[in-house]
Every structure is written in C-alpha cells, then in structure tokens.
Amino acid sequence: MTGYLGSYATLGLLLVASVLIFVGAFTANRLLSPADPAEPAGKRATYESGVDPVGGDWAQMQIRYYVYAYLYVLFAVEAVFLFPWAVIFDRPGFGATTVVEMAIFVAVLALGILYAWRKKILDWT
C-alpha cells in the first residue's frame, strides 16, 4: 500500500486507533465508576430545572429550521462546484470564459437567497 491508498490507509488507521481508545476509555470508566450506585426515585427523570417533567419528551420543531437546512444544501452544492473551479480557473486554457460561467452559476443561486430574503424567510421572528 503506497501512494494514494497509503494516504487513506493512514486515515483508516486513525479510525481504528480511535475505536480502540474509546473501548479503553469506556472500560476504564466502567471499572472506576461506582459499582453499586443508589437509585433514588426520580434519579433518571429528565432534567427540567428541578420541576417534575410534565407531558412528553418531545417538542415539535419549527419549520424555519427546515428552510435553513435547505439553504445549507443549496450552498453546500454551490461550494462543492466552486472548489474545482477555484483550483483551475486561472490555468492556461481557461480564463475569462470560465469566470463568467461561474458568475452566472453564482448569480442564479444568489437569486435564491435574494428570494428568501425578500420573502422574509431569513428573519428569525
């Protein structure tokens, strides 16, 4: 394993090492922590600042989080296309045309955030 796969094999080694370290840490924690802890009533109840928890454990999320996640997908895709473009745009054979192509791409996506802006989606009310 040399070169390309070798570089990634090192990353794989890192993952294996981290799994081993976690196994060791959790074993140590199990050995060191109290073996026979007390179980008073309410010990495992959910924490609500000292008040007895009422109702379910689950609050329905607001829709605005979803729109932000969607905007994130959009701009993550844009960033992913910007990366290879940024590496090659001033190599010989590219130049002004490539910049204009990317400008159109960015402008169309900027329309999206402009739309969200004018529709007050970006207002966290």
Partner 1 sequence: MTTPAVYLAQDPTLADFGHDPWWISLIKVVAAFVFAVLATLLGVWFERRVVGFMQVRPGPNQVGPFGLLQTLADGLKMAFKEDILPKGADKVVYFFAPTISVICAVTALAVIPFGPMVSMFGHQTPLQVTDVSVAVLVILAASSMGIYGIVLGGWASGSTYPLLGGLRSSAQMISYEVAMGLSIVAVFMTAGTMSTSGIVAAQAGSDRSASLGGFEFFAPGWYAILLLPSFIIYFISAVGETNRAPFDLPEAESELVAGFMTEYSSLKFALFMLAEYVNMVTVSAVATTLFLGGWRAPWPISIWDGANSGWFGLIWFFAKVILLVFVFVWLRGTLPRLRYDQFMRLGWRVLLPINLVWILALAGIRVLQKENSDAVRWGIIGGALLVILLITLAWPDRRKQPPRPLQEQVNARPQGSFPLPPMDLVVPPSPRARRGVAQRQPANVGGGAPDVVDTTSTEEKED
Partner 2 sequence: MTGADVLLLALGAVAVGAGVLVVTTDQLVRAGLYLVVCLGAVAGLYLVLTAELVAWVQVLIYVGAVVVLLLFAVMLTRAPIGRSPDLNRPGLPAALIGGGAGLGLAALFADAFRWSAVDLPAPGTAESLGTELFRSWVLPFEVLSVLLLAALVGAIIVSRPDIGSRP
- Closer residue to partner 2 in complex, CB, 24/53: 53
Cα dihedral sign, 54-58-64-65: positive
Quote the radius of gyration of the chain (alpha carbons, Å).
26
Question: Among partner 2, partner 1, none, what binds residue 81 when CB lies within 5 to 8 Å by partner kind?
Answer: partner 2
- Taking each continuous run of H as one helix and of E as one strand, the counts in the chain are 3, 0
Question: Among partner 1, partner 2, none, what binds residue 49 when CB lies within 5 to 8 Å by partner kind?
Answer: partner 1
Q: Distance (Å, rounded) from C-alpha 125 to C-alpha 64?
A: 10
Least separation in angstroms between residue 35's CB and partner 2 is 28
Residues that bind partner 2 (CB under 8 A): 1, 4-5, 8, 56-58, 60-61, 63, 65-67, 69-74, 76-78, 80-81, 83-85, 87-89, 91, 94, 98, 101, 104-105, 108-109, 111-112, 115-116, 119-121
Q: Distance (Å, rounded) from C-alpha 81 to C-alpha 101?
A: 12
Question: Among partner 2, partner 1, none, what binds residue 77 when CB lies within 5 to 8 Å by partner kind?
Answer: partner 2
Least separation in angstroms between residue 38's CB and partner 2 is 26
HSE-up of residue 32 (Cα within 13 Å, Cβ side): 6
Q: What stretches of the chain adopt beta strand conformation (E)?
A: none
